[in-house]
Amino acid sequence: MKRWRFEFHASYEEPQYVDAETEEQAWAVFRKNWDGYIESAKAAERDNIDEIPRIDDKTKIREVGLEALKWSPRPTCCDQINKIERFRDGPIISLNVSRYNETTGDYFSLIDPHWVIRKTGDEISFCPFCGTKLPEVERMEEPPQPLWDGDDDYCGTCDERNMCCECNPPWAAYRIKK
């Protein structure tokens, strides 16, 4: 299943997301959902019914990363290791595949994947909770698309600034070795 983002030409309208296998299926689901939204707004006799954007040729679609891949892959040695941090809404331990390269001055040079404690960036090889060795990972032959590929400012896949990019992160291309 892929995730699709729809944007209306009106910049104030929030983007809408649909999960579907193909772009055609995504359009069909989006049209059905949006038509239902407009009908429910009419039934509720909302005052701003004329301000709701309509689907037209300016409505943009693009494939984005799956929310489920945001923190993958995940070790499973104990319950504590996948606990969610309160400050950053992510796991305490994550796989890191990029870092600042002092030689080239590149902020996001890809490196060998390694496990880190997110809060400090310290590399670890054993679970800090149960002491189990953390699993090795391997790059998938066909990683999930779209996959982030950029520099310290822009994603080369979607051409968005990194802070707005919704592509799958580089570590989503890895899985736990079997």
- CA-to-CA distance for 5 and 22, rounded, in angstroms? 13
Q: Where are the domains positioned within the chain?
A: 2-64, 67-176
Helix, strand counts (H, E) of the chain? 1, 8
Q: Is 107 a residue whose pLDDT tops 60? A: no
Query: Which residues make beta-bridge pairs with 126?
Result: 133
Mapped onto helix, strand or coil, the DSSP state of residue 79 is coil
Query: Which residues make beta-bridge pairs with 84?
Result: 91
Over residues 116-138, the pLDDT tens digits come to 887 788 889 999 889 999 999 99
CB 17 within 8 A of CB 64: yes
Mapped onto helix, strand or coil, the DSSP state of residue 80 is helix
| pTM, entire model | 0.68
Q: Is 7 a residue whose pLDDT tops 90? A: no
Over residues 15-38, the pLDDT tens digits come to 888 999 999 999 999 999 999 988
